Amino acid sequence: MIFEEILNKVLKTNSLTENEILELLKTDKPQKLFAAADKVRKKNVGDEVHLRALIEFSNICKQNCLYCGLRRDNKKVDRYRLEPETIIDLAKKAKSYGYQTVVLQSGEDPYYTSDIMSQIISAIKKFDIAVTLSIGEKTFEEYKVYKDAGADRYLLRIETTDKDLYEKLDPQMSLENRKECIQNIKKLGYETGSGIIVGLPGQTLESIAKDILYLKSIPVDMAGIGPFILNPNTPLNDKVKSEKLKVELTANDQNNFELALKVMAILRLLMPDINIPATTAMETLNPDGRMIALQSGANVVMPNATEGEYRKLYELYPGKICVTDTPYKCRFCIESKINSIGRSISQGKGNSKSKEIL
């Protein structure tokens, strides 16, 4: 089938085969794909943009993902963890800036036991604000404790569904366990967020097409798609340079940016009413990255609400945006950018329309 036929099919049926997804990923007419996704976004989730205040509360991680600057073996990062009172205070400030959701994100840091997390979540819920967690792989019981404490949403990217690649890039982790965690999150009634990194060395377009179908099969309520950005303080740096890893997609920032937009747009066409963030990594690769993403299918932005030096220390990849800004500045800066493209900020909690729970 040719590009236009595939586009017409997905607009009518919200479904695509793996081969059809592959054709869309390969298209040299991405603007048509982005425009179609933008139309579907407008029709199904409207013009409002939901803001989520991102609190990066610890950069300590027991895992060792080869692509991530927070990995355990990276000695070139100063580690920090915020006290529960500080996290609660940041959430309170976020609410005062008009946020209706906080996203608590960290490395997999064992300091935050279920008890501690549950205290933090229940304290924050008193501010009448939705809580999203993005703190990695946990047991079913741990996910249940957080849910019982009031957590509304959980974000755990699958990263890639290519088993060999996953297990090469995430040593000591398994794709089966990652999938089971996502199932458990879904089972417990969280609004379930997942997603992938686009442009990982060794990743193929075929595997990305499978990733997209996986996200649809869950089905996720939120899909976060981030372009891969090479971190010089990770082992991937040497591997990419020495070409020991088979690099089918070049680790080229602008390729990764456009490909990530394509993945996001295809997900919008397949899942018209989910929430899709314009990710920070997109803006790192392109100064207008988040606004371009908002015009290619996205409807959510996650401005940084972490304070002071910690913004810089939470360094997954180089060139992270807004590291010297304050949460207050980011909140109002993003609002004016969003208004400048004719969109408005939602005043509600922004639950996924695919799962109206509150």
* Binding at 317: pick from ligand SAM, ligand SF4, none (beta carbon under 5-8 Å per type): ligand SAM
What are the φ/ψ torsions at residue 216 (nearest 5 degrees)?
-70, -35
* Binding at 253: pick from ligand SF4, ligand SAM, none (beta carbon under 5-8 Å per type): none
Alpha helices (H) along 134-244: 140-149, 163-169, 175-187, 205-217, 235-242
On whether 134 is known to bind a ligand per the annotation, the reply is yes
Tell me which of 34, 57, 67, 310 binds ligand SAM, using CB under 6 A. Answer: 67
**Cis? peptide before 227, omega within 30° of 0:** no
CA 32/CA 3 separation, integer angstroms: 10
Alpha helices (H) along 279-350: 280-285, 289-294, 310-313, 327-340
257-286 positions binding ligand SAM, by CB under 6 A = 281
On whether 258 is known to bind a ligand per the annotation, the reply is no
229 binds ligand SAM (CB under 6 A): yes
Q: Which residues bind ligand SF4 (CB under 6 A)?
A: 61, 63, 65, 68, 70-71, 107-108, 136
284-343 positions binding ligand SAM, by CB under 6 A = 316-317
75-134 positions binding ligand SAM, by CB under 6 A = 105, 107-108, 134
* Binding at 71: pick from ligand SAM, ligand SF4, none (beta carbon under 5-8 Å per type): ligand SF4
Tell me which of 24, 68, 223, 334 binds ligand SAM, using CB under 6 A. Answer: 68
Comparing CB distances to ligand SAM, the nearer of 268 and 320 is 320
Here the contacts of 147-151 (C-beta below 8 Å, separation 24 or greater) are: 147/188, 147/189, 147/190, 148/118, 149/117, 149/118, 149/119, 149/121, 149/122, 149/125, 150/121, 150/122, 150/124, 150/125, 151/121, 151/190
Q: Which of 182, 254, 257 lies closest to 219, judged by CA? A: 182
CA 348/CA 358 separation, integer angstroms: 11
Asked whether the beta carbons of 264 and 37 are under 8 A apart, the reply is: yes
* Binding at 229: pick from ligand SF4, ligand SAM, none (beta carbon under 5-8 Å per type): ligand SAM
Cβ burial of 113 (10 Å; 0-12, 13-18, 19+) is exposed
Nearest distance from C-beta of residue 315 to ligand SAM, angstroms:
9
Nearest distance from C-beta of residue 181 to ligand SAM, angstroms:
9
143-172 positions binding ligand SAM, by CB under 6 A = 156-157, 159
Annotated binding-site residue numbers for S-adenosyl-L-methionine: 159, 178
Residues at the contact surface with ligand SAM, assessed by CB under 6 A: 67-68, 70, 105, 107-108, 134, 136, 156-157, 159, 197, 226, 228-229, 231, 281, 316-317
